[in-house]
Amino acid sequence: MLAARPRTDLGALTRLTELADYIVPFTIRVIAHLGVADQLADGPRPVTELAEATGAHAPSLLRALRALAGKGIFTEVEPEVFGLTKLAEPLRTDHPLSLRDAYPLMAADVRAWAGLGDCLRTGEAAFPRIHGADYWSYLAGHPADSLAVDRWMSSLTRLHLRTVLPAWPWAQARQLVDVGGGDGAFLAGLLRRCPHLHGTLLDLPHVVSAAPALLAEAGVADRCRIVAGSFFDPLPADADLYVLKTILPGWDDADATAILRRIAAAMGPQSRLLLLEAIIPTGDVFDVAKLVDLHTLVLTGGRHRTRDDLVDLLAGAGLRLDRIVATPTLTVIAAGPAGPQLTSP
Ligand SMILES: C[S@@+](CC[C@H](N)C(=O)[O-])C[C@H]1O[C@@H](n2cnc3c(N)ncnc32)[C@H](O)[C@@H]1O
């Protein structure tokens, strides 16, 4: 039997070309890094002025802004004069939920992404093969990249504080450990909103080194202990809450189970674990988790999980899924020790 001839749908070809683009993502990142949006806070300006203020080459900046304006990011209000749009506003540094640092253009990541084909063939991360070190060890030896990642996480954290905090009764806890809590941005925001809560921040030494200043600036340093260490080692015991925010997706099942076992061993009978992460929905629906999932494959060899995957993962560490609360960003997945029934929060 002859195979059916493929259909010619010009709309589909155009849409596919648009989706296959990597020029817009690169351009957004560089324009964010240059700080162009900050220069437009008081209204539209000619590209020559923007170039001078940001240290760019005017004719090339024009080409970049023109490309983005075609996507609704910036607008060319008259020839070679650009202004902000709704999509450009969050690129301002002074935006309350600024995403200026949320799109770092890191050469090391881009080189790893060029190895996606190998990831799909082998199921293994490209980053360690290309750079000779796993992602977190590489960052420990590359302070500029490490800082860019911390800032990227902090910009997402601002969004998470806005969306995730209303989803859980945090104020009912007394002691919380933010395991792999980065530079402390999430814990600082949480402690500011819950005056009776005390926190422990645990992350790798080069990451927590930024935390004292951040926690002091938030006025919560006296309620926060900082532990420079690894979540593969024994963890502070008997806290009411253990938080793993966007941690498990970075690890394969064996490592994720090892982290969960450390938490299970530290928990008391009434302790709870909160996983704050994106869950992969079933079916064809778009969800950003399905994209970030590929990023974790390329960089660390980890994976985002479905609800059922998480139930199994938790069970493998002696934990039981207790409650799931969806938010506009991350999902809150509460778990407790598998043994006795927990009292409700
Ligand atoms: C994706 S970031 C999430 C940071 C933070 N929880 C957040 O959501 O903003 C992963 C974090 O895990 C930390 N990390 C990686 N390996 C670790 C280890 N062995 N022990 C403790 N933290 C680790 C990294 O330094 C980084 O801060």
Residues 247-290 pLDDT 10s: 999 999 999 999 999 999 999 999 999 999 999 999 999 999 99
Contact 207, 181 (CB under 8 A): no
The first and second tokens of residue 97, run together, are: 């939920």
Q: Spell out the domains of the chain, with CATH numbers in brackets.
A: 10-91 (1.10.10.10), 109-337 (3.40.50.150)
- The whole-number pLDDT of residue 1 equals 66
> Which atom of ligand 1 is closest in space to residue 178's alpha carbon?
6
Alpha-carbon distance 186 to 5, whole Å?
A: 54
Q: CA nearest 47: which of 29, 22, 68?
A: 68
- Which residue stretches of the chain have pLDDT < 50? 344
- The whole-number pLDDT of residue 6 equals 84
Sign (positive or negative) of CA dihedral 331, 337, 343, 345: negative
Nearest CA owner, ligand 1 atom 16: 136
Q: Is 277 in the pocket of ligand 1 (CB under 6 A)?
A: no
Q: Compute, in angstroms, the gap from residue 192 CA to the centroid of ligand 1.
A: 21
Contact 272, 241 (CB under 8 A): yes
Tracing tokens 């290309």 back to the chain, one arrives at: 130
pLDDT in tens, 161-198: 999 999 999 989 999 999 999 999 999 999 999 999 99
Instruction: Provide the CA 114 distance to its chain's centre, in angstroms.
Output: 21
Ramachandran class of 168: left when φ > 0, alpha when ψ lies in -120 to 50, beta otherwise: beta
> Which atom of ligand 1 is closest in space to residue 244's alpha carbon?
6
